């Protein structure tokens, strides 16, 4: 019995020595921010291994998973970002890097379907190409500063799913359907026509999809419209407006939903209306 206890103590101290050696190696030579990052990474990685105690087969499976994640990436597909999104890491990075005063519009993930260079429209334009189905909606509101003052000339860069649940960026032929850029008027107003967005699935045919399956999770995102707002003298705001009647609001696969970004589409005699004001913060 005593011999077994001694063996366990020896094993535990050998395990501690490995962690200490790995930390010590960083302390010896790394400097500044690199040192801080590597020390924290080493501590947390070793802490994770101590907590989980993976078998060697499990550790190899983890390495295979990361290898396949890299191999799934190409010009159009970034499986590592999808991994970051589905583990909640992207939204945590977003929250840390976009701390805003009360009253400012909250941010959300950019996602992989943003395309630069969307067509520039006047207020009142319809972002949908002829023949696009779905429920027509008039979206309008104001862009203001934190004191409610209008921001003139703010650019709203807009993109969303079509009624068939795909983005223009996913069209191999290239398209900007349901994408567009507008500028606010002198009183901060903007308005445009579009189609009510629909819920859609993020790519599930790679290692991230397999991880979601293994965790018993789905790969749906609740319906939303993406906005990227920019104006001289203000922080760029990347956000999304989520439809309040969506069944996936509480289980978004990428954790992008915030209560303040959930909006209601009003039924009127002229069709659906969505009114939403955006509040931008001054550049720091
Ligand atoms: C999106 O909202 O378009 C999105 C965000 C993260 C992952 C996939 C899609
Ligand atoms: Fe999206």
Closest C-alpha residue for ligand 1 atom 5? 111
**What is the 8-class DSSP label of residue 282?**
B
Closest ligand to the CA of 208? 1
Q: Which value, to the nearest 10 degrees, does the dihedral of the CA atoms of residues 111, 116, 119, 120 take?
A: 100
CB 171 within 8 A of CB 142: no
Closest ligand to the CA of 85? 1
Say what the pLDDT of residue 11 is: 77
Q: Within a 10 A sphere around the Cβ of 20, how many other Cβ atoms?
A: 13
CA nearest to 176, candidates 135, 132, 145, 134: 132
Task: Give the atom of ligand 1 at the shortest distance from the alpha carbon of 82.
Answer: 7
CB 161 within 8 A of CB 178: yes
In the reported structure, the alpha carbon of residue 112 is separated from the centroid of ligand 1 by a whole-number distance in angstroms of 6
Strands 224-230 and 237-243: antiparallel
Collapsing DSSP to helix, strand or coil, 204 comes out as coil
pLDDT tens track of the chain, all 284 residues? 677 777 777 777 899 999 999 999 999 999 999 999 999 999 999 999 999 999 999 999 999 999 999 999 998 899 999 999 999 999 999 999 999 999 999 999 999 999 999 999 999 999 999 989 999 999 999 999 999 999 999 999 999 999 999 999 999 998 999 999 999 999 999 999 999 999 999 999 999 999 999 999 999 999 999 999 999 999 999 999 999 999 999 999 999 999 999 999 999 998 999 999 999 999 98
Say what the pLDDT of residue 10 is: 72
| CB of 85 sitting under 6 A from ligand 1 | yes
Closest C-alpha residue for ligand 1 atom 9? 111
| CB of 202 sitting under 6 A from ligand 1 | yes
CB half-sphere exposure, 102, CA atoms < 13 A:
0
Q: State which of 256, 257, 258, 261 you would mutate to test the pocket of ligand 1, scoring each by most atoms of that ligand within 8 A of its C-beta.
A: 256
The pTM of this model reads: 0.93
Closest C-alpha residue for ligand 1 atom 3? 111
Say what the pLDDT of residue 1 is: 60
Which regions of 92-170 does DSSP assign to beta strands (E)?
136-144, 155-160
In the reported structure, the alpha carbon of residue 86 is separated from the centroid of ligand 1 by a whole-number distance in angstroms of 10
| CB of 114 sitting under 6 A from ligand 1 | no
């Amino acid at each position: 019995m005593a011999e077994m206890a001694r063996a366990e103590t020896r094993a535990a101290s050998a395990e501690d020595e490995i962690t200490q050696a790995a930390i010590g190696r960083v302390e010896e030579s790394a400097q500044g921010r690199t040192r801080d990052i590597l020390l924290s990474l080493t501590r947390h990685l070793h802490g994770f291994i101590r907590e989980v105690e993976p078998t060697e087969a499990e550790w190899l499976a983890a390495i295979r998973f990361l290898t396949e994640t890299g191999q799934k990436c190409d010009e159009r597909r970034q499986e590592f970002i999808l991994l970051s999104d589905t583990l909640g890491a992207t939204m945590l990075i977003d929250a840390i890097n976009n701390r805003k005063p009360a009253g400012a519009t909250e941010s959300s993930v950019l996602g992989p379907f943003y395309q630069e260079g969307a067509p520039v429209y006047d207020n009142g334009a319809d972002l949908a190409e002829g023949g696009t189905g779905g429920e027509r909606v008039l979206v309008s509101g104001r862009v203001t500063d934190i004191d409610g003052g209008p921001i003139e000339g703010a650019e709203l860069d807009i993109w969303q799913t079509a009624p068939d649940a795909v983005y223009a960026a996913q069209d191999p032929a290239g398209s900007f359907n349901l994408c567009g850029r507008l500028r606010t008027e002198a009183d901060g107003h903007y308005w445009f026509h579009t189609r009510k967005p629909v819920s859609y699935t993020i790519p599930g045919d790679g290692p991230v999809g397999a991880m979601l399956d293994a965790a018993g999770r789905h790969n749906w995102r609740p319906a939303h419209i993406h906005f990227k707002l920019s104006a001289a003298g203000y922080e760029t705001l990347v956000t999304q407006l989520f439809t309040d009647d969506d069944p996936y609001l509480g289980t978004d696969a990428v954790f992008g939903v915030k209560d303040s970004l959930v909006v209601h589409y009003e039924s009127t005699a002229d069709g659906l209306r969505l009114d939403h004001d955006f509040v931008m913060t001054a550049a720091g």
